[in-house]
A and B are shown apart, each in its own frame.
Chain A
Amino acid sequence: MLEVKELETHFFVYEGIVKTLNKIDLTIYKEETLGIVGETGCGKSVTALSILRLIPSPGKIVGGKILFEGQDLLKKEKEKMRKIRGNKISMIFQNPTSSLNPVFTVGDQLTAVIRNHQKVSKEEARKRAIEMFKQVGLPDPRRTLQKYPHELSGGMQQRVMIAAALSCEPSLLIADEPTTALDVTIQAQILNLMEGLKEKLKTSILLITHNLGIVAKICDRVAIMYAGEFVEEAPIEEIFGNPKHPYSKGLLESIPKVTQKGKLETIGGTVCDLLDPPSGCRFHARCPSSMEICQKERPGQTKIGKNHFVFCHLYNS
């Protein structure tokens, strides 16, 4: 349904060009949940914002294609793109507290989204808003509508964001670390809610997170990202049972386990500088099984199994 091809997003800063996304490919199928996992700063959020064409200056999409329902979003006129945002593709953010406008009631903000994409009267929009609030499990929808964001808890705020994002029944919901700012019990509630609504509205979800636990809970497939490139893409059982890329293995080993005693495994070194990324495979300097070729050539895609791909010279026979 959504196909990203060789997408390149660069940031033109004073010190040079930061190649945040280096020709990435990504596919999201109908009604599936795809997780993008990676460290902070690896380009997860930039991928999300690139899809919506909302990269802030000095960033710019310099190449590639984003095919959504067969049409290239990068070739759309501004106005047509705007009509897709919030309507066909919508997004929820990491911090619900700062993602809601503090000086308007949540009802105003929700009805604004609804009326923006659907030709309905104020009264109908309000009814729809109440309906959405019920669906996301907000108590006393009528009264909540009149409240300002600061009068709601973080969990309720995120429910409002989800209500707004799903109010136009989009075919793709991008969730950028939707639960990071919430405490654990609320996290589970929000994830359950997203899963339930996804089934009901037949929406695909692109979930961005650095929490593999969340991925295990709701994703169908995972793409692991490192320094602006995907290193491995696999169905959920495969990534946890049969990780191939050294970085994926490292990530999985750095999850603390209750049964484990002693020191927690980490990945050595630090994330490379995207202003001046290493040649070849961007992970080679930190890779425990680095070879000579890794410094020279960017590894191509290798098929491991059904829907399981890895970008690593180790499997390039």
Chain B
Amino acid sequence: MNKFLRYIGRRLALLILVLIGLSIITFTLARIVPSDPAAVYLGPRPRPEQIAEVRIKLGLDKPVYVQYAYYLRDLLHGDLGTSIRTHQPVLKSILRFLPASFELMLTAIILALIIGTLLGVTSAQKENTLIDHANRLFAVTGVSLPAFWLGLLFQLLFFRCLGILPLGGRIDIYVSLFSPIKHITGFYVIDSLITGNWVAFKSSILHLILPGITLAAYSTGIIMRMTRATMLEVNREDYIVAARAAGIPERTVVFKYALKNAMAPTLTTAGLAFASMLTATFFIETIFYWPGVGTYTVKSILLNDYPVIMAVTLVGALLYVLVNLVVDLVLVFLDPRIRL
């Protein structure tokens, strides 16, 4: 156990270096962009003397490296800055929007892992049959269709044409008015489930379907391809032939003996695909009016609200590194030969 903690500690130490490097890059980029944060801060038609005043207030009159030093100092105190657009502390806003994004991303990850793995396994078992070809076509489609376009297609089909799923948002507006959800975890599905609020539960599930699938599409494709490839490889291993020769039922051979061996590359890819999921969230939340960090960030980007951009970048990097750390730890439990 001690070894685990030491390993985690080492990885987290590296994370700090990553974050510092990242903050320098985003900070520089935000300042290169030809846009005046002071003007954004003041809104339409500010007077020049107002701008000068705000520049001093925001510290924009200081040299860039001094500004960065101030930024780092605030960061160490847990202050991610104040949004230029909303004049609210960035951390507070992010924490408010994060549960919505987490709920969406978690749904997408679970969907991608289950569907991707199942399709990959069936494809490998039925190599080069019609089922396999269909699955591979599905995977390629998922990977190559841009998320924003897929989202629009889904809206057109399931909302406009079939009318069976909502267009966007997290929950039906009437439901939120007449049976409001009590905030416990911030996940609507879980909160409504534990409070027994069935109307809200149903509504939030329905609202999750389209954005969840859209967000999962890319990862599902990648995971499917990876699972198929590794399962084909594992199927040729001696221990699979040996398991069959010992009369182990086919289902156990495939889903236990083979899949556990094939899971490691699949999970690694899933961890890496998480990066694309973070990016896709921005588009998908905007398209589906999902009140999450993505929507919040897109609005901020459009106004070069640099404290928000930087904070979201850092949070995103943090998430990405943490997810991959978790993946690496899971791999240790999957394969006893892996040493930390």
Check B246–A93 contact: CB distance below 8 A. Answer: no
Check A165–B261 contact: CB distance below 8 A. Answer: no
Check A82–B247 contact: CB distance below 8 A. Answer: yes
Given known A99-B238, A150-B337, contact A90–B246 (CB-CB < 8 A):
yes
Check B238–A165 contact: CB distance below 8 A. Answer: no
The chain A residue sitting closest to B235, CB to CB, is A56
The chain B residue sitting closest to A79, CB to CB, is B249
B53 at the interface (CB under 8 A from A): no
| Residues of A close to B245: CB separation below 8 A | 52, 54, 85-86, 90-91, 93
Q: A47-63 interface mask toward B, CB cutoff 8 Å, 1 = contact, 0 = none?
A: 00100101010000000
**Nearest 4 A-B pairs (CB), nearest first?**
A86-B247, A86-B246, A85-B247, A98-B238
| Residues of A close to B236: CB separation below 8 A | 56
What is the minimal beta-carbon distance from B129 to any residue of chain A, in angstroms?
11
| Residues of B close to A113: CB separation below 8 A | 246-248
- CB-contacts of A272-298 with B (<8 A): none
What is the minimal beta-carbon distance from A11 to any residue of chain B, in angstroms?
15
**Segment among A20-28, A101-109, A135-143, A190-198 that sits at the interface with chain B:** A101-109
Given known A103-B261, A148-B337, contact A98–B249 (CB-CB < 8 A):
no
The chain A residue sitting closest to B264, CB to CB, is A103
Give me 11 A-to-B residue pairs in the complex whose CB atoms sit less than 8 angstroms apart, sorted by A's number.
Answer: A85-B244, A86-B248, A90-B245, A91-B246, A93-B245, A99-B238, A102-B337, A103-B335, A116-B248, A150-B337, A165-B246
Check A116–B246 contact: CB distance below 8 A. Answer: yes
| Residues of B close to A95: CB separation below 8 A | 238
The chain A residue sitting closest to B244, CB to CB, is A54
Distance of A115 Cα from B237 Cα, bound (Å): 23
Find A54's partner among B241, B334, B336, B337 (CB 8 Å cutoff): B241
A100 at the interface (CB under 8 A from B): yes
| Residues of B close to A84: CB separation below 8 A | 247
Check B246–A164 contact: CB distance below 8 A. Answer: yes
| Residues of B close to A150: CB separation below 8 A | 336-337
Distance of A52 Cα from B245 Cα, bound (Å): 7
Given known A82-B247, A86-B246, contact A93–B241 (CB-CB < 8 A):
yes
Chain B, interface residues (CB within 8 Å), range: 20 to 34
B257 at the interface (CB under 8 A from A): yes
B243 at the interface (CB under 8 A from A): yes
A75 at the interface (CB under 8 A from B): no
The chain B residue sitting closest to A88, CB to CB, is B247
Check A161–B242 contact: CB distance below 8 A. Answer: yes
- CB-contacts of A39-92 with B (<8 A): 49, 52, 54, 56, 82-87, 90-91
Check B239–A83 contact: CB distance below 8 A. Answer: no
What is the minimal beta-carbon distance from A96 to any residue of chain B, in angstroms?
9
B260 at the interface (CB under 8 A from A): yes
What is the minimal beta-carbon distance from A257 to any residue of chain B, in angstroms?
34
What is the minimal beta-carbon distance from B243 to any residue of chain A, in angstroms?
7
Distance of A164 Cα from B239 Cα, bound (Å): 13
- CB-contacts of A104-160 with B (<8 A): 104, 112-113, 116-117, 148, 150
The chain A residue sitting closest to B245, CB to CB, is A91
| Residues of B close to A99: CB separation below 8 A | 238-239, 241-242
| Residues of A close to B239: CB separation below 8 A | 98-102
Find B261's partner among A52, A54, A85, A102 (CB 8 Å cutoff): A102
Distance of A244 Cα from B247 Cα, bound (Å): 39
Check B242–A93 contact: CB distance below 8 A. Answer: yes
Given known A93-B238, A98-B239, contact A83–B247 (CB-CB < 8 A):
yes
Distance of A83 Cα from B242 Cα, bound (Å): 14
- CB-contacts of B189-242 with A (<8 A): 236-239, 241-242
Find B260's partner among A87, A91, A98, A104 (CB 8 Å cutoff): A104
Find A85's partner among B237, B246, B257 (CB 8 Å cutoff): B246
Q: A90-B246, A98-B237, A101-B239 are in contact. List 5 more A-B contacts (CB 8 A).
A: A86-B247, A99-B242, A101-B243, A103-B260, A150-B336
What is the minimal beta-carbon distance from A146 to any residue of chain B, in angstroms?
11
Distance of A117 Cα from B249 Cα, bound (Å): 10
| Residues of A close to B261: CB separation below 8 A | 101-103
- CB-contacts of B294-340 with A (<8 A): 334-337
Greatest chain A CB density within 10 A among B243, B244, B247, B248 is at B247
Check B249–A82 contact: CB distance below 8 A. Answer: yes
The chain A residue sitting closest to B243, CB to CB, is A101
Distance of A251 Cα from B210 Cα, bound (Å): 70
Distance of A161 Cα from B249 Cα, bound (Å): 18
| Residues of A close to B337: CB separation below 8 A | 102-103, 148, 150
Check A101–B247 contact: CB distance below 8 A. Answer: no
Given known A93-B238, A93-B242, contact A102–B335 (CB-CB < 8 A):
yes
The chain B residue sitting closest to A161, CB to CB, is B242
Distance of A112 Cα from B334 Cα, bound (Å): 18
| Residues of B close to A148: CB separation below 8 A | 336-337
Distance of A82 Cα from B250 Cα, bound (Å): 9
| Residues of A close to B246: CB separation below 8 A | 85-86, 90-91, 113, 116, 164-165
